[in-house]
Chain A
Amino acid sequence: MDAEGWPIDMDERLRRFLFPSLTPAFLVRVVLVALCAYGFFGFVCTPFVIRGKSMESTYHDGGFDFLWKPHYLYSEPKRGDVVAISLAGEDVVYLKRIVALAGQTVAFKDGVLLVDGRPVAEPYVKGPCDWNLPPRTVEPDHVYVVGDNRSMPMEQHDFGQVSLHRIIGVPLW
């Protein structure tokens, strides 16, 4: 409806949508939307690009995702979660899977993950793995993280226990 109550045709609606009048109210709406988008995508749900193959075949090199940061506001990290781990800042982060929690022992024997001495089924691991790692206990306030790509040599793969305060969120999908 226009100001006098007459119906507005579609062309006019489309024109107003695509070429809105630069009224103060419109500019306020634009600024609010921009601020909300900046806050949401800058601090709550940050877009990121995956570089590297340590999480193949779950996450592929060059893939795109969002980092959902509030995930652990009301819950604790648990085994099987894929988490983002901060380094010096948040521009570049590690993406790894939690395989053991504080107090548990972790080991690899002929490629099989052992937690507290028991083998763990890992359907997300594709390809052959021949890793061997003696048992070690995860320190308090730490979790043990490993990438899903176990077909690469163990020496070339960054994994191990990490402090909980470095976990900054989870990928959205």
Chain B
Amino acid sequence: MVTRKKILAVLAVLLAAWAVWYFFPSRTRQVKRQFGSLSEWVSKDGPEGNLTMVNEATRADQFFAPRCAWEAPKYDLNGTVTPQEVSRYYFAGRARFNKLSLKFYDLDIRFPESRTARVNGTVRITGTLKDGDSVSETHEVECTLQKTHGKWLFSQVTVVEVLKR
């Protein structure tokens, strides 16, 4: 009986530790989760209806700050965009793909200020266009996220030019 009580106590402690770990994530895990959520938001496994796409597109403000600075010389993308503009790019870009996958690797997360995160990572975008062509892009990115109303929002995204033509 004593043994059973001890086992239950150990299980309870483990469960409590897991609950604290899961429900009160560290800042680093919160930022990593935001990257994971962004991946899920962008990726799609197959064709989807316009209504679904419109609904998804409106979630841009859950990921991007009211003004997010973009710098991607390779794509002639330089300037500041609002979540509404991101939604429009999302809709237009996503409509061209049958399958789309966005994944992040090697995330190095630092906190220069308590509500600011600087992240260096590698992003890989793969997909199949509606005409059957496949797309595969890999880039190093530097992102700045600001914590606003409990959410880490992207306020700056820079595509690092590793290979300079």
Interfacial residues, chain A to chain B (CB-CB below 8 A): 51-53, 85, 87-92, 94, 96, 133, 136, 145, 158-162, 166
Contact A88–B140 (Cβ < 8 Å): yes
Residues of B within 8 A of A90 (CB): 106
Residues of A within 8 A of B164 (CB): 160-162
A-B residue pairs in contact (CB < 8 Å), sample of 28:
A51-B124, A51-B126, A52-B138, A85-B163, A87-B106, A87-B122, A87-B138, A87-B140, A88-B105, A88-B106, A88-B120, A88-B140, A88-B141, A89-B105, A89-B108, A89-B122, A92-B106, A92-B122, A94-B162, A136-B165, A145-B163, A158-B138, A160-B161, A160-B165, A161-B165, A162-B163, A162-B164, A166-B162
Q: Which 8 A-B pairs have the closest CB atoms?
A: A89-B106, A160-B163, A91-B105, A160-B165, A87-B140, A88-B106, A87-B122, A88-B122
Measured between C-beta atoms, what is the minimum distance from B119 to chain A in Å? 9
Measured between C-beta atoms, what is the minimum distance from A154 to chain B in Å? 9
What is the CA–CA distance of A38 and B116 in the complex, to the nearest angstrom? Answer: 36
Measured between C-beta atoms, what is the minimum distance from B131 to chain A in Å? 14
CB-CB nearest in chain B for A142: B164
Q: Is B52 an interface residue (CB 8 A)?
A: no
Measured between C-beta atoms, what is the minimum distance from B128 to chain A in Å? 14
Q: Is B66 an interface residue (CB 8 A)?
A: no
Measured between C-beta atoms, what is the minimum distance from A153 to chain B in Å? 11
What is the CA–CA distance of A141 and B97 in the complex, to the nearest angstrom? Answer: 40
CB-CB nearest in chain B for A134: B165
CB contact between A52 and one of B108, B136, B161 (< 8 Å): that residue:
B136
Measured between C-beta atoms, what is the minimum distance from A101 to chain B in Å? 15
Residues of B within 8 A of A133 (CB): 165
> Which residue, of A92, A96, A161, has the highest number of chain B Cβ atoms within 10 A?
A92
What is the CA–CA distance of A8 and B115 in the complex, to the nearest angstrom? Answer: 70
Residues of B within 8 A of A94 (CB): 138, 162-163
